Structure 1
């Protein structure tokens, strides 16, 4: 059967403002397939819309063996979301209908819009959308015109990225409890004479946060040595781990994982003016910018965060401790369940990473939610008002 001329426009439109379109398990994706024809389209069976997701990694490493340098490519792929397919059939009046008609229908010249709806199950455990030069997690909608012969796609160039994030609720008890870590260092006066210890105790108000919220950091230092203390610094760091298919080199397995060096997302620091027994930092706030949520439910791409705290000691090794931090997507509601979160959105843009090398294909640049107007109040204040006035906002990453 002879094919008709290709449509002038064949596109997918998602309903809603562009900066609002962040989806989660349980969300409903609504949109339109838009077709514009300059010549009539021969009779077709209908239109098929498919939502799918993949995780993909790919990177190169060089290894030298007996003076010869080899370039090894690691790559792997897994399914993030099994295809969800909806079929839109067409009436003779060229409008959409859920049930398949008894006859084939052609489309005349002009613009045609066909709505569709896809429901994401709340039971899905989906890794959040992610993009980098070494791997990505992508969800896409693909639309195609379906012919009667085996109901195959006749024209399939309509592809739309869909940002999807995990449901990570930072109100769960696992994430609302404070975390405390201590570190001790004994400074040396000379080769074999030790002075008193220097201790640093770090406490965070909880372990789970959303972008836009603030980590409240309390640090107590005790100096029983003759060393002078310098600055105190806290860094929020991101660790991304990629996995690739095993590759052999001369019959031996080589490393099949690549961990990106820790990137500092944000920092706070101060010069120590220590009074023994008193906090050097008492609920020092570190605001979390727009960043990728924690990803732990993929086998080949994982994203984790740590709060690294450093205490500078003059003429001695610095003290350092790490606290694991989870970045979630359902914001903190405060000490009582009555503190509702007002949902709102903005189109402001902020970079997620520090340098251009961290970006993959910006056509798939994800949108992430963040909390707007977050206000912190110490637990002992038990102030409900401090947690009411924050709103969810979404932000698309952009190059610096």
Structure 2
């Protein structure tokens, strides 16, 4: 609380980055504004820079929580040296500079069960009184090099399943998907090559989804949150037909960047291409993504199908069955009337140029969540 006759404020320079964030090695500058109405004895004026990661959630009847300190810097701007330091009434403006460490920092983030936050704090110390403090939030981003060799190689995967059983088997459905690389920046579009072969007796519908996976870890337990940040649905693929897409794009919205360097909080992304099958479990291909903040890189698009396991370890989600769509969702009303399949369309435009989920983010996830409860230790 402000002390009588004193007013303390902290202003951070806003001319560092157009996006208002700081990275490792950057200098955080600004000034402390102190207004006093009468002569005051001051012990010290300091500026602090702190950063923490915290996670917390309820597990059965107990709370799981952890905290990590990621940053702690301090600088004394004004201090008494043996004698009382007396400031007369008036306005004092004290500039400051603090350099962030060169080592990588964990990006700022706010999620359902945890967050990573940084703050700059001004502290006024006076004799016989509680310290006067004022804080300002600082946004930190850890830039990820999406041009690393492990992130610029094409990846692909193929999966297949039979529909029905025994004498009622109607035929297989297969899905092959490839993308040109795994590392992308916000605002870039992911060119997807996919081939669906539907040799079953059912009508199927393709869908492309970008998932954000938040993983919170505390006391040997995990809490996982899965949510959709962008999606697009395609046209019906009739029985005994195939559809191919070459380079259709799904745009990445302005989501939080991947967080891979914290031991209690992770943010990861998956591209899922799904074939929705009425009356059966969906067929899907999951390809991991690493999303960085900004900057664009030029890559040639390779449509060749490669073995994903040679390039990147398989990322699997907890096996949660998804309810199949109803017949009315995949069959047009006219088709329902005459029971006739639609004409074959070799190049349906099923991937959108823009994000299906277009809410603006400020390093925060979308508001709706679907929770997954994996096997907990």
Normalising by the smaller structure, the TM-score range is: 0.7 to 0.9
**Given the alignment, which residue of 360, 373, 376 partners 1:350?**
360
Q: Secondary structure of 2:263's match?
A: coil
So what's the TM-score if we normalise by structure 2? 0.73
Q: Which whole-Å CA distance do the structure 2 matches of 1:170 and 1:303 have between them?
A: 16
Distance in structure 2 (CA, Å) of the matches to 1:228 and 1:55: 49
**Corresponding position of 2:19:** 20
* Partner secondary structure for residue 197 of structure 2: strand
Alignment of 1:19-58 (within 5 A): 20-42=19-41, 44-58=42-56
| Structure 2 counterparts to residues 19-168 of structure 1, below 5 A | 20-42=19-41, 44-62=42-60, 71-81=61-71, 83-89=72-78, 105-122=85-102, 124-146=103-125, 155-168=131-144
Distance change >3 Å, CA 5–CA 201, structure 1 → 2: closer
Deviation at 1:140, TM superposition (A): 1.1
Residues 227, 315 of structure 1: 8 Å contact kept = no
Query: Which of 189, 204, 219 is 1:230 aligned to?
Result: 204
Q: How far is the alpha carbon of 1:195 from its aligned partner? A: 4.8
Q: Deviations over 1:218-251 (max 9, x none)?
A: 111123x2323422111111111112236xxxxx
Q: CA deviation at 1:206?
A: 1.4
Cα distance, 1:104 vs structure 2: 5.2
Provide the C-alpha distance between the structure 2 equivalents of 1:109 and 1:135, rounded to a whole number of angstroms. Answer: 44
- SS of residue paired to 1:175: helix
Cα distance between partner residues in 2 of 1:128 and 1:276: 48
1:291 aligns with 2:271: no
Partner of 1:370: none
**Residues 1:181 and 1:276: Cα distance change in structure 2 (over 3 Å):** farther
State the partner residue of 1:174. 150
292-301 or 325-334: bigger deviation: 325-334
Distance 2:275 2:196 in 1: 9
- List alignment gaps of at least 5 residues for structure 2: 301-357, 371-377
8 A contact 1:204–1:216 mirrored in 2: yes
Q: Equivalent residue for 1:378?
A: none
- Matched residues in 2 for 1:37 and 1:72: separation? 48
CA distance in structure 2 between the partners assigned to 1:171 and 1:54 by the alignment? 29
Q: 1:25 to 1:228 in 2, by over 3 A?
A: same
SS class of match (1:295): coil
Q: Is the 8 A contact 1:144 1:153 kept in 2?
A: no
Q: Distance in 1 between matches of 2:159 and 2:68?
A: 40
TM-score by length of 1: 0.69
Contact 1:145 1:154 in 2 (8 A): no
Q: Match for residue 259 of structure 1?
A: 224
CA distance in 2, matches of 1:276, 1:331: 43
Shift of 1:314: 4.2
Are the counterparts in 1 of residues 36 and 88 from structure 2 also a CA contact under 8 Å? yes
Residues paired across the two proteins, number = 309
- One of 268, 275, 281 as aligned partner of 1:304: 268
How many angstroms does 1:277 deviate by?
10
1:333-344 aligned at under 5 Å gives the runs 333-335=297-299
More strand by share: 1
Counterpart Cα distance in 2 of 1:217 and 1:103: 71
| Gap change, CA 1:6 and 1:216, over 3 Å in 2 | farther
Cα deviation code 1:278-311 (max 9, x no counterpart): 8632222111112111112111111111111111
Q: Distance in 2 between matches of 1:29 and 1:353?
A: 26
- Matched residue, 1:392: none
Cα RMSD of the aligned pairs, angstroms, is 3.2
